[in-house]
Chains A and B, each alone.
Chain A
Amino acid sequence: MKFNREKLVERLLLVVALSAMAALALIAVFIFKEGVPFLLEVGPRQFLLSSDWRPQEGRFGVYPMIVASLWVTLGAMLIGAPLGVAGAIFLNEFVPRWVMRIIKPTIELLAGIPSVVFGFIGVVVLAPLIRAHLGGPGLSVLAGAVVLGIMVLPTVISISTDAISAVPNSYREGALALGATRWQAVHMVVLKAARSGIVASLILAMGRAVGETMAVIMVAGNAVKVPHSVLDSVRTLTANIALEMGYATGKHREALFATGVVLFVVVMILNSIATAAVRRRFGTKGTRK
């Protein structure tokens, strides 16, 4: 009886776990099934490298959106990564524990703020500031990067903090005993030991930045052109899908699915580059897991 129940629960968990993965697989299959035939019909070269997106005239080129997605994501990481990692180090190493116990949940609460709210603040506060002081339409790569940079902070800080606090205290004590200063101990020992967790936080943050849609639609301006400066208005891959999905029929709709395929591949490539870069720099041996 007991044995049977054990087996039953085991099977049940297996089914539940597989169904979660099956859902993911089905989504991928569906996007590819809808998008790839169109991609082949138009020609991947044409679709990926043309800057002409006029769905009504049957012209489909997503090159400007690919560039836009990369610029905005890169900008968001330039802002979010240093701030986030620095914040995590500060919280772990330089403030008393009780301060961290108050601040960390507060930061995690930030993650719960809906992206529309970030977008709205971007539109009414950030974009006018950029327009007044730096020029351009205000709704721009820069606005998108700053808003996304702030949106990824909770992810970076919370996971980096976990990674840093998981470094055994004996490491710090060892470093200090050898005569290292507090900062030397942190950047020479603690950060090295926590790097895999920190990198994981950055990869997750990058995924969030590439995939974010609502806030970007609101602050990036959505102009279909290859940006020449950070003050130009751009449309990311995600924004392109969300903006036009409501109206799209026929070829136009297929083109949006093909945009989804491109987004999928871009995310894969970015993730592989990030993981590969980590491996090359630090070797495959992580201290944590």
Chain B
Amino acid sequence: MFDSRKQWVVVVVCAATVAWVGCGPKRAAITVAGSTAFQPFAEKLAEELMAKRPDLAITVQGGGSAVGIQSALSGAAQIGMADLVELPPEAKSLTSVVVARDGVAMVVHPSNPVQNLTTDQIRGIFNGRIRNWKEVGGRDEPITVVSREAGSGTRTSFEQIIGGIRLTPDAVVQDSNGTIRETVANDARAIGYLTHGVVNEKVKTLKVDGKECTTEAILAGEYKLVRPVFFLFKGAPQGAVKEFLDYVLSAEGQEIIKRNGLIPAK
């Protein structure tokens, strides 16, 4: 059944596999997992660092803040990423370092005349107590509330900062920053919230308590809806983990974060 040609193929395939697995330079491999909001930044940073240090192999995965905490705890990832205002109790055993900050922007359709909302009004809208734009100085139109899904880091932070929110059952739920933006951009009556980094000209950002959501206002500590982005480790960071952390916190790393729309840690 096996003629000699087939045997040759088998031998060559085996040899190639052994060579591929066996050779190659020794690399220090680490995995970074968690927050989908910070994931693109972590990818960019990892890429830059690996370009300089070919002996490092950094893999970046998403999954969300909860996954970041879980995988740091279980050791599935050496670094967990989480963007929450308060870390949950199970993360207390982990070392946490703030590597960046992220503003949460309140967005509406560009045609919406409303410019500013107070914390109280935002709470009322998301609780379903305020149901018409007229009540907050807009047109006489019903409000479409757009929120993220339960468990999202952006939603958890938003609800923690505003406080006292029990999301109205009428709220439309979208599962990413991008789809929130699309929904709001397509609906003149919608209001939503999303990470500062992905706001573009298709939506209008509202002032919160009279303060604009800009990098300057966030750095000055004026804008309210800000959350830290944490890196979480088991114990003290060392080796490749420490190198990546140092790079992220370095002037160059922070500049990359700032250039791509997030707010530096300091």
Say whether A124 faces chain B, with CB atoms less than 8 Å apart: yes
Say whether B150 faces chain A, with CB atoms less than 8 Å apart: yes
Say whether B183 faces chain A, with CB atoms less than 8 Å apart: yes
Known: A124-B182, A128-B187, A222-B175. 8 other contacts (CB 8 A): A124-B186, A138-B186, A138-B187, A221-B172, A222-B173, A225-B169, A233-B172, A246-B64
Q: Within the assembled complex, what's the spacing in Å between the Cα atoms of A64 and B171?
A: 14
A56 partner, pick from B65, B150, B183, B189, beta carbons under 8 A: B150
Q: A127-B186, A137-B187 are in contact. Are A223 and B169 (CB under 8 A)?
A: yes
Q: Within the assembled complex, what's the spacing in Å between the Cα atoms of A246 and B166?
A: 22
Q: Within the assembled complex, what's the spacing in Å between the Cα atoms of A252 and B172?
A: 20
Say whether A272 faces chain B, with CB atoms less than 8 Å apart: no
In the assembled complex, which residues on chain B have CB atoms less than 8 Å from the CB atom of A51? 169
| Distance in Å: Cβ of A133 to nearest Cβ of chain B | 14
Q: A137-B172, A138-B187 are in contact. Are A252 and B144 (CB under 8 A)?
A: no
Q: Is there contact, CB below 8 Å, between A247 and B186? A: no
Q: Is there contact, CB below 8 Å, between B187 and A131? A: yes
Say whether A157 faces chain B, with CB atoms less than 8 Å apart: no
Q: Within the assembled complex, what's the spacing in Å between the Cα atoms of A54 and B66?
A: 17
Can you list the 6 inter-chain pairs with the closest CB atoms, starting with the nearest? A247-B151, A222-B173, A225-B169, A221-B172, A243-B149, A137-B144
A-B contact pairs, 30 of them (CB 8 A): A51-B169, A54-B166, A64-B169, A123-B182, A124-B182, A124-B186, A127-B186, A128-B186, A131-B187, A137-B172, A221-B172, A221-B173, A222-B149, A222-B174, A222-B175, A223-B171, A223-B172, A225-B170, A233-B170, A233-B172, A235-B173, A242-B175, A243-B149, A243-B173, A246-B63, A246-B67, A247-B149, A247-B150, A247-B152, A252-B150
Say whether A200 faces chain B, with CB atoms less than 8 Å apart: no
Q: Which residue of B lies closest to A127 (CB)?
A: B186
Say whether A249 faces chain B, with CB atoms less than 8 Å apart: yes
In the assembled complex, which residues on chain B have CB atoms less than 8 Å from the CB atom of A55? 150-151
Q: Among the interface residues A56, A225, A249, which one has the most CB atoms of the partner chain B within 10 A?
A: A249
Q: Mark B138-173, 1 if CB is under 8 A from A, else 0.
A: 000000100001111000000000000010011111
Q: Within the assembled complex, what's the spacing in Å between the Cα atoms of A138 and B149?
A: 19
Say whether A206 faces chain B, with CB atoms less than 8 Å apart: no
Show the binding face of B for A, using Cβ within 8 Å: 63-67, 70, 144, 149-152, 166, 169-175, 179, 182-183, 186-187, 189-190
Say whether A224 faces chain B, with CB atoms less than 8 Å apart: yes
Q: Within the assembled complex, what's the spacing in Å between the Cα atoms of A218 and B63?
A: 20
Say whether A244 faces chain B, with CB atoms less than 8 Å apart: yes
| Distance in Å: Cβ of A115 to nearest Cβ of chain B | 15
In the assembled complex, which residues on chain B have CB atoms less than 8 Å from the CB atom of A224? 169, 173
Which of chain A's residues 48-73 have a Cβ closer than 8 Å to chain B? 51, 54-56, 64
Q: A243-B149, A246-B67, A249-B70 are in contact. Are A223 and B187 (CB under 8 A)?
A: no
Q: Which residue of B lies closest to A224 (CB)?
A: B169
In the assembled complex, which residues on chain B have CB atoms less than 8 Å from the CB atom of A225? 169-170
Q: Within the assembled complex, what's the spacing in Å between the Cα atoms of A228 and B10?
A: 64
In the assembled complex, which residues on chain B have CB atoms less than 8 Å from the CB atom of A246? 63-64, 67, 151, 175
| Distance in Å: Cβ of A68 to nearest Cβ of chain B | 12
In the assembled complex, which residues on chain B have CB atoms less than 8 Å from the CB atom of A222? 149, 172-175
B151 partner, pick from A131, A235, A242, A244, beta carbons under 8 A: A244
Say whether A139 faces chain B, with CB atoms less than 8 Å apart: yes
Which of chain A's residues 224-256 have a Cβ closer than 8 Å to chain B? 224-225, 233, 235, 242-244, 246-249, 252
